[in-house]
Amino acid sequence: MTTALRVEGLTKRFAGMIANDDVNFDLLPGEIHCLFGENGAGKSTLSSCIFGFYRPDRGQIFVSGEPVHVGSPIDAIRHGIGMVHQHFVLVPEFTVLENIIVGTQRSGIGLKAADARKKLSRICESYGIVVDLDAYVWQLPVGRQQWVEILKALYLDARILILDEPTAVLTPGESRILFNIIGEMCARGLSIILITHKLAEVMQSNRVTVLRKGRVVATLKTSETSPDELVRLMVGRDVSFSVAKPALAPGEEVLAVEGLTARGHWGETVLNNISFSVARHEILGIAGVAGNGQKELFEVLCGVRKPDAGAIRLRGEDVAGLTPRALMDRGVGHIPDDRFREGLVPEFSIAENLVLGWQRSPKYRTGLMMDRRAIADLARDMIAQYQIAARDETVAAGKLSGGNAQKVIIAREFLHASGLILANQPTRGLDVGVIEYVQRQLLKKRGEGFAIVLASEELSDLFSLADRIAVMFKGEIMGIVDPRTTTIAEVGVLMAGGREGGRS
Amino acid sequence: MIQFERRTETSGVWTTISFAVASLAGLAATAVLLASTGADVLQVFGALVKGAVGSPKALATTLVKATPLILTGLATVVAFRAQIWSIGQEGQVFAGAMGGYLGAQLLAGLPALLFFPGVLAFGIAGGMAVAWLSALLRNRFGVNEIISTVMLNYLAVYLLSWLLQGGPWGETGGTISYHQSPMLPDAAFLPALMGSSRLHAGVLLPFLAAAICALVMARTPLGFEIRGLGYNPEALRHKGVNIGRTVTLIMLSSGALAALAGAIELFGVTHRLRADNLIGLGYAGIIVGMIGGLSAWGTVLAGLFFGALASGAVYMRVLGDVPAALVPAIQGITLFLFLCAGVLARYRIVRVVVQ
Ligand SMILES: Nc1ncnc2c1ncn2[C@@H]1O[C@H](COP(=O)(O)OP(=O)(O)OP(=O)(O)O)[C@@H](O)[C@H]1O
Ligand SMILES: [Mg+2]
């Protein structure tokens, strides 16, 4: 059988490092082929080379057995290759339809919106994708933006679709739908390259190629391997999936929220009468399908959004409405879920990002100047400690792989916070080895007496880490449960808006 | 087939080549322009170079002409690096001159060591006041700074016009008004650096200002915030930076630099308040800052280059009938080509073998 796509001896170097080293890879028609590997292993780089975004230093790409030159995404599209990037590239001010047709128009000057609409409706219908073509992209939750990217590729008649961590921003429900659609595409003869860190998803593929430090370690039939073997191949050691959580009695209360209410841009209620508290030595989990107010809750707690009613007390002091600065000075650390927009300045170096927000701190200054030596030393420390894959501390954060960028944020917040850590989806996009590391760090902070608010879409994370779990639905807390006496299924009911389940 | 391809990292050599090519192309375009007016291209270029750097006097003129351009260029750098598109440099130059003139009235008689810092401070305060208005409009009412600064530019220019013609500062001789103020007293002339030449002490200030700008940008927390604001204001807001206050600070610094240009023109060159020397300095500064790549020392180089052009142009015009508009034309051509070079530097040219 001819391969849909074949890559031979592909090598890609970035200043001072090899991101892909003599990679051989092939994709069969109708196959889901997973790329699996640590953060920074070179998965996104490989797909970007295939999509013509980067120009490989060496190597040849074959489509349907024919050698092709893919010098740009336009070439890739001509060869029937489509890609959904790890970080979306949509124009927020455009509607879904406009985003799809702008830049993809192949002939003619006028935008043939009517034709495009017809074609897109047909695609949506045949795959069962539900997207409002006239909605503005900024109005869409990130999960929906993913559909737009996929639609765009289908609209361009892609036969080979590269999905770079598509489910990182999807809710479990949306992920299931995505996998149904992927299955449908394969049934129609499309081939999928899927990049994911989630083992459950990897196991749904036909084959897996494991990358380590830019090299192919193995290509295996999924049915002939196991998650344990894959992880061992990926990191070269065993990873324990359940971290041991020592029993600790909660100490005095650190954060207490009472009757917190906030309104959105259009006056709609985004947080409705939220009350909870977190104590020293305690991790409060926030469960819920993304888009049910978690983001807004974190924004209010870290000071970038003003609450409309309610009280927030930090160690007894009313801090509702204080600025982010004032809260940071009171020891609040915040890991936002949108890392490149809210957590990092992509053009800044790793070192600069590690002190972002603390640039005026005397620790990082000598007189009026910033203390470059101290900052560089700190950065080298953090790079070693968090195993951030980068040549050195001067690399721009925007050039890091998704997972490594996240590590920079985590390192910064863990370093500067004292007392309270607000973590919104901190392990999203991290490889299992790093997830294990972050979980250990969270538990270590818990042991040191921090109070932690942790939101995650992975219920298994919450069940292994949290002391209590608050479930959010439509801006409200449906219940706060004890993970030791509750099942995942019961939490699932609350996440869907059910009310049963005890409060504690 | 030749194709352009985006680079993943820029190369120093290629960037240098791009800008060298742009400079040569600029020269060629200028030559074509000159030839089309019927001038002897080589003779004109010779005169240009001679007038720019051909003698100590020419060099002095170059420095004097470069001084306001570098300062307004730096004003551009400070604002544009933070992606604050202030084009209020023009009005701030005028405000700086007016503030300086007011200071000269109030501080007359003070010893030079107090007088000059004092009047320059008055000038700077004038520019900062104008800039502060734009910052206020932006922070309070969300008024786009491009719009507010352009409006304030007109305001400043007309204010000076009114002050000089019919207003309190105009010089009236007999029956006509000259659209300028009376001459300042000798004591208010910026001292000359060498003997009686036109090289006034103010030419040192742009270099000092550039050094401070470069240092602040690269090494201080404020510079960190300015750069960060240009790249990703949202992340800065999340990390506790007061965006409104930073914007105000940036606009005030930018206004101060532009105003200093106006005040130095007044005390160093014209010695009386008049509009014709000030017109265009602010807008030219935007070009100088952009050509300088929005870096402080790049701006010094670009400012010196255009200072030399302006100085050479004077000599050139004495020599023959070369149109006065030549210098702005060269400025425009250079900016255009340098912007092209800036884009080109981010691409590589590849030969593609079509299968
Ligand atoms: N434009 C770039 N310039 C320099 N280095 C880069 C660039 N893009 C990627 N890299 C480096 O190449 C390596 C591979 O990055 P890549 O994004 O392919 O990793 P990844 O496997 O997709 O990781 P993740 O799972 O975290 O997304 C990383 O170490 C990264 O820092
Ligand atoms: Mg990636």
Largest CA distance in chain B: 84
- Same domain assignment for residues A454 and A326: yes
Please state, in angstroms and rounded to a whole number, the distance separating the CA atoms of residues B110 and B45: 46
Band of the pLDDT at A103, cuts 50, 70, 90? low
- Same domain assignment for residues B165 and B33: no
- Same domain assignment for residues A220 and A307: no
User: Is A219 part of a structural domain of the chain?
Assistant: yes
* A166 inside 8 A of chain B by CB: no
Short-list A471, A466, A339, CA closest to A409? A339
pLDDT of A318 reads 94
pLDDT of B17 reads 83
Question: Which backbone phi and psi does B207 adopt, to 5 degrees?
Answer: -70, -40
- Same domain assignment for residues A126 and A229: yes
Interchain proximity A54–B8, CB inside 8 Å: yes
Which residues of chain A make contact with B352, given a CB cutoff of 8 A?
69, 71
User: Is A336 part of a structural domain of the chain?
Assistant: no
- Same domain assignment for residues A293 and A408: no
Interchain proximity B238–A334, CB inside 8 Å: yes
Tell me the pLDDT of chain A averaged across its residues. Answer: 89
pLDDT in tens, B164-209: 887 788 777 656 666 788 888 888 888 888 776 788 999 999 999 9
User: Locate tokens 């819920």: which residue?
Assistant: A288
Q: Which residues surround ligand 2, an ion (CB under 5 A)?
A: A 44, 86, 401-402
Q: Is the pLDDT of residue B86 over 80?
A: yes
* Pocket test residue of B6, B7, B8, B10 for ligand 1, highest count of atoms within 8 A of CB: B8
Interchain proximity B240–A325, CB inside 8 Å: yes
Describe chain A by its helix, strand, coil percentages, rounded to 5: 35, 25, 40
> A35 forms bridges with which residues in the sheet?
A195, A209
| CATH number, domain containing residue A477 | 3.40.50.300
B355 lines ligand 1 (CB under 6 A): no
- Same domain assignment for residues A317 and A191: no
Domain that residue A433 falls in: 248-331+418-504
- Same domain assignment for residues B34 and B116: no
Q: Whose CA is nearest to atom 7 of ligand 1?
A: A399
Please list, residue by residue across B266-286, b when 16 or more beta carbons sit within 10 angstroms of its beta carbon and e when fewer do.
bbbbbbbbbbebbebbbbbbb
- Same domain assignment for residues B31 and B62: no
SS3 B320: coil
Give the mean pLDDT of B135-161: 93
- Same domain assignment for residues A34 and A66: yes
Band of the pLDDT at B7, cuts 50, 70, 90? low
- Same domain assignment for residues A110 and A206: yes
Domain that residue B353 falls in: 1-39+325-355
Q: Classify residue A32 by its DSSP letter.
A: E
- Same domain assignment for residues B1 and B118: no
- Same domain assignment for residues A254 and A218: no
pLDDT of B8 reads 61
- Same domain assignment for residues B47 and B17: no
- Same domain assignment for residues B27 and B52: no
* Count of domains observed in chain A: 3
- Same domain assignment for residues B11 and B128: no
CA nearest to B349 within chain A:
A71
Give the mean pLDDT of A275-280: 95
ipTM: 0.86
Q: B124 Cβ partners below 8 Å, 6+ apart?
A: B96, B99, B256, B259, B260, B263
Please state, in angstroms and rounded to a whole number, the distance separating the CA atoms of residues B17 and A489: 64
- Same domain assignment for residues A134 and A265: no
Q: How far is B213 from chain A (nearest CA, A)?
A: 13
- Count the residues in chain A: 504
Give the mean pLDDT of A444-460: 91
User: Is A337 part of a structural domain of the chain?
Assistant: no
User: Locate tokens 């049963």: which residue?
Assistant: A500
Band of the pLDDT at A501, cuts 50, 70, 90? very low
In one-letter notation, the amino acid at residue B103 is G
Which residues of chain B make contact with A366, given a CB cutoff of 8 A?
none
Find the range with the poorest average confidence among A127-136, A390-399, B214-223: A127-136
A389 lines ligand 1 (CB under 6 A): yes
* Count of domains observed in chain B: 2
List, as own/partner pairs, every contact residues A182-190 make where C-beta atoms lie below 8 angstroms and the sequence separation is at least 24, other chains included.
A182/A32, A184/A127, A184/A128, A185/A127, A185/A161, A186/A30, A186/A31, A186/A32, A187/A30, A189/A29, A189/A30, A189/A159, A190/A30, A190/A158, A190/A159, A190/A160, A190/A161
- Same domain assignment for residues B87 and B212: yes
pLDDT, greater one: B351 or B147: B147
Q: Is the pLDDT of residue B75 over 50?
A: yes
Note the pTM of the prediction, 2 decimals: 0.86
- Same domain assignment for residues B226 and B309: yes
Which residues of chain A make contact with B242, given a CB cutoff of 8 A?
323, 325
To test the contact with chain B by mutation, choose from A359, A364, A394 the residue with the greatest count of B C-beta atoms within 10 A, namely A359
- Same domain assignment for residues B17 and B150: no
Give the mean pLDDT of B309-314: 83
- Same domain assignment for residues B5 and B118: no
A433 lines ligand 1 (CB under 6 A): no
- Same domain assignment for residues A357 and A500: no
- Same domain assignment for residues A392 and A428: no
- Same domain assignment for residues A53 and A177: yes
Q: Which of B224, B234, B350 lies nearest to residue A370, judging by beta carbons? A: B224
Which residues of chain A make contact with B231, given a CB cutoff of 8 A?
345-348
- Same domain assignment for residues B197 and B249: yes
Please state, in angstroms and rounded to a whole number, the distance separating the CA atoms of residues A273 and A256: 13
Q: Is the pLDDT of residue B3 over 70?
A: no
CA torsion through residues A486, A489, A491, A497, sign = negative
pLDDT of A287 reads 92
| CATH number, domain containing residue B306 | 1.10.3470
Please list, residue by residue across B106-132, b when 16 or more beta carbons sit within 10 angstroms of its beta carbon and e when fewer do.
ebeeeeeeebbebbbbbbbbbbbbbbe
Last-in-domain residue among A416, A451, A476:
A416
